Amino acid sequence: MSSHSICENIKQIKQQFENVELVVVSKYRNLDELQAVYDCGHRDLGENRVQELVSKAEVLPADIRWHAIGHLQTNKVKYIAPFVHLIHSVDSFKLLKIIDKEAQKAGRVIPFLFQIHIAEEETKFGLSIEELEVILSSEEYALLNNVKCKGLMGMATNTNDQEQVASEFKGLRSLFDKHAKALDWDTLSMGMSSDHALAIRNGSTMIRVGSLIFN
Ligand SMILES: *Cc1c(COP(=O)(O)O)cnc(C)c1O
């Protein structure tokens, strides 16, 4: 795909959904394609594998904001802790405690989202609503000084049933609304290439889009 069309695709999405933040998902894409995104003026890139994120970050401009969007293994946190912009995929308290520890070592506060399991599929990672509530009300959570929750992330079921997808997004939005004010949350990351319009209609503030931009 030419750098011109990549930029046109990004501009089109931004124009259509002005009040939503766009994370361009750059996994599997080469450096020329990422450079095209950068040259288009876009700075938020998302990767789901730590190794790929780190190796791309090493060679691309330093002002790119890197989003970690995939399941994160605890032993990989240290590689992204010094610079990651937002971790979308906190799916266990154990992981969060490791992120806090590595953030402290790096001398910073790392913004993150709790990933909530909203899909029917067994395979998708994420916390249940009950698990989230337990974490939020725990004393140990209150003591973490080097992480800052910005909100929630979720992935809907991969189905053509629009009503089901919409209802999963609605459910996540209402969980977000329940806590956003008291906990100072501003980010609800939901919606990918196939379902971003539906996600936005149901209250998404941040979409993660890959194939729609590069294909
Ligand atoms: C790959 C990926 C996306 C983007 O998927 P597309 O269908 O290419 O838009 C979004 N979120 C996560 C967590 C992903 O792994």
DSSP state of 162: H
The Å distance, Cα 208 to ligand 1 centre, comes to 6
Q: Which residues are 209's β-sheet partners?
A: 24
With a CB cutoff of 8 Å and minimum separation 6, the contacts of 189 are 23, 69, 88, 113, 151, 152, 153, 154, 204, 205, 206, 207, 208
The Å distance, Cα 202 to ligand 1 centre, comes to 18
The DSSP string of 30-84 is -HHHHHHHHHTT--EEEES-HHHHHHHHHHS-TT-EEEE-S---GGGHHHHTTT-
41 burial via Cβ count (<10 Å: 0-12, 13-18, 19+): exposed
Helices and strands per DSSP (H, E), number in the chain: 10, 8
CA–CA separation, 118 vs 116, rounded Å? 6
Query: Which mutation among 208, 212, 214 tests ligand 1's pocket best, with the greatest number of atoms within 8 A of CB?
Result: 208
The Å distance, Cα 120 to ligand 1 centre, comes to 17
| Single-letter amino acid, residue 81 | A
- The per-residue pLDDT for range 120-134, each reduced to its tens digit, is 887 778 999 999 999
Chain centroid to CA 94: how far?
19
The mean per-residue pLDDT over the stretch 57-67 comes to 98
CB of 69 closer than 6 angstroms to any ligand 1 atom: yes
CB of 192 closer than 6 angstroms to any ligand 1 atom: yes
Structure tokens, 146: 């080097």
CB of 207 closer than 6 angstroms to any ligand 1 atom: no
CB of 25 closer than 6 angstroms to any ligand 1 atom: yes
Structure tokens, 137: 């009300």
Q: How confident is the model at residue 3 (pLDDT cuts 50, 70, 90)?
A: confident
CB 69 within 8 A of CB 89: yes
CB of 193 closer than 6 angstroms to any ligand 1 atom: yes
The mean per-residue pLDDT over the stretch 150-175 comes to 97
Beta-strand runs (E) in the chain: 21-25, 44-47, 65-68, 86-90, 110-116, 147-154, 187-190, 206-209
The mean per-residue pLDDT over the stretch 112-122 comes to 92
Q: How confident is the model at residue 139 (pLDDT cuts 50, 70, 90)?
A: very high
Size of the chain in residues = 215
What's the pLDDT score for residue 208?
A: 98
What is the sign, positive or negative, of the torsion defined by CA atoms of 106, 55, 66, 168? negative
For the CA of 212, the nearest atom of ligand 1: 9
Query: Which mutation among 24, 26, 29, 48 tests ligand 1's pocket best, with the greatest number of atoms within 8 A of CB?
Result: 48
What's the pLDDT score for residue 159?
A: 94
Q: Using CA positions, which residue lies closest to atom 7 of ligand 1?
A: 193
CA–CA separation, 44 vs 205, rounded Å? 14
